[in-house]
Structure 1
Amino acid sequence: MRLSRFFMPILKENPKEAEIVSHRLMLRAGMIRQQSQGIYSWLPIGKKVLDKVNNIIREEQNRAGAIELLMPTLQSAELWQESGRYDAYGKEMLRIKDRQDRPMLYGPTNEEMVTDIFRSYVKSYKNLPLNLYHIQLKFRDEIRPRFGTMRSREFMMKDAYSFDLTREGAEHSYNKMFTAYLRTFDRLGLRAIPMRADTGPIGGNLSHEFIILADTGESEVFCHKDFVNFDIPAENTDFDSVDGLKSIFDKWTSLYAATSEMHDEATFNAIPEAERLSARGIEVGHIFYFGTKYSEPMGAKVQGPDGKEHFVHMGSYGIGPTRLVPAIIEASHDENGIIWPESVAPFDVVVINMKAGDEACDDTCELIYAALTKAGKDVLYDDTDDRAGTKFATADLIGVPYQIIAGPRAVANGEVEVKDRKTGARETMTIEAAINRFVA
């Protein structure tokens, strides 16, 4: 993509409304624009990052055996009245009526709807276990939306819902998602700690939040310091292995980690003081097992191997992609801007033409741009006539992992400079070597 033809409205000054680093940098980098309180448009460069985050989430959900569908954002109030949550949910639910005066709502979550889909088609235990997920916009009318897309009213959510015949089966489904979440956050360049958590309006008696430690986080958390030493499950993890996934779950939960709602002071104080960590964090995922909380009132049951009908055991599993993007920025930035992990960067590399209009610089940049694009790399080519300082500032701000810099003096020697955005390291190499570094 040529920068001269791309839509990326960079802001030179820090927006006054931005309270935290991620909100400030997302606005300055032209990733988002606020449309009303707590509601944002995702501009092209922000959308590219969001899509990459969603793709990683999707790959790990599929790897764990979940099956993707897509449910509507608007839901009938009748389903929520069946479950008993319509009146209990609170003012965060946006309630509306259609032209026939039927009560509707903009879904804050999808337990009721997915349970309705399940009960309409699944009648036998032979079709279990089943896990259905989607990635969809949701709405919760937060009393105080803040921090940009970190805590917005409209947001994107990956929510998955598991169905099992027994509690034992449901716990295995829970462990599948637990393991998939560890892998997902690791691929996003994040260290997310699973902490025992309150189930809130979702319900149930088993729940974990995945928390990224950050000073700007709204969650107060308590955990054992050794969490930084735990290995992430491998790509070839056998998600059908009950014992294997239970060992992963037991290993990660053997050390103390809890949100403030579940914090046990006595247990925490029993940990040697040098090994305790109390901090603030950002919630980026939440998983629940809630048994038959929804299946019983909504009649979601199957015939078991004993010939009798059984209410299915359920769980739900959420990840917020539109919250993950700013969380990644909070965890990875410097005074010059964002430092994206390669897995979610909007572009793989930015080619910077230091003297647009100079024939040698133009030819060199065109050669590199064409070669990398042909090799399947997502390349941003800064072909603008901006000053060098502006080009460097833009490249650092948007956080592309690598910069290939072509200036008249270097090009005259058949060379370019390659900069690593994360480390700041610069290396001069031949034009051919620079191309081969990224296409080999």
Structure 2
Amino acid sequence: MKRTFVIGVGLTTFDKPGTRAGDYPDWVREAGTAALEDAGVDYEHVRQAYAGYVYGDSTSGQRAVYELGLTGIPVINVNNNCATGSTALFLARQAVAHGVVDCALAVGFEKMQPGSLSAVYTDRTNPLDRHLGRMGEIRPRESAPFGPEMFGNAGRDHMARYGSTPDHFLWVAWKNHKHSVANPYAQFQTEYSLAEIAGSRVIHDPLTKLQCSPTSDGAGAAVIASEEFVRRTRCWDRAIEITGQSMVTDFESSFSAETDCMRIVGSHMSQEAADRAYREAGIRPEEVDVCELHDCFSTNEIITYEALGFAEEGKGHLLVEREATTYGGGGPVVNPSGGLIAKGHPLGATGLAQCAELTWQLRGDAGRRQVEGADVALQHNLGLGGAAVVTVYRRP
């Protein structure tokens, strides 16, 4: 495969549904234009575009991308639940790495409804029916929305098996909200105390409201290019290399008799995707300086520490006790953007926002969020139903 690079990124602010001016084509124009300007190239250089969204009509991707230009290029609509943005990135990188095109665009956007996610179509099989059914055999179903219930139950399993406590999960949310104060793109930019997070409304024990990612509106974009294109356009000063990337879907272990709620929400997918991405990049987990991971709920951040190899199985909460995953903690700084919990979670845009944050971090352009000396970055984006995408970035 050819070497591939992120040469431009763009992002809108993430906002509470219904409060952002304009509509999704306007947001893609804003994020896409920013990414092209960041790359120093015109839209005419883009040979394929991958447009990710979960909630929208067919060919919404074309309608959105047409705001950037009408050049007749293939526009592929992408939907992979919460991993949609990173799936668009995965496909754009594949096209460039295999020499299909020398420059591709990945965009992601979402216009969401307020409140917790729920099924849109009730006259057909729910794509999570096997996940929810197996979970219900392990822990009786409760009245909470399915997202907090699934990830809350994963946290309960971690506590029962490994000895973590609700306080460990509270700290994760405290950390990410604290990080978001320095992120002008974040939906939340308020530093909450541990007591405020613990005292917010319980959604599904041990998760309180401030430990759950909010629904959001917004868009993100990334321009992906080959080494030859980077050399020809002389944009080495902004190019960040993708040195490893993998997408993994569910295994039999997600539904087997031996499974637990952590596997049902993707811990094994994440572990395998990370292992493959590390092997391609030729690095070890301890070499990662900064990480954006899928903290849709605070419980999942600790479970994902273990899946990504930052801690041994069952010991992710010990990183919390050492405060290792924030600035000066000695481990990788995790979710300097504020993560999904504080930055927001417009499903189709989340993976592109993670890409943008890590690109800025490796360029040294993250402002008050900058992780000093960041050289290797890791992105983890998860979608139930299921897909886990892990990407390794490095300064070339």
Q: TM-score, normalised to structure 2's length?
A: 0.25
**Rg comparison, structure with higher value:** 1
Q: TM-score, normalised to structure 1's length?
A: 0.24
Structure with bigger helix share is 2
Relative contact order (C-alpha < 8 Å, sep 6+): which is higher?
2
Structure with bigger strand share is 1
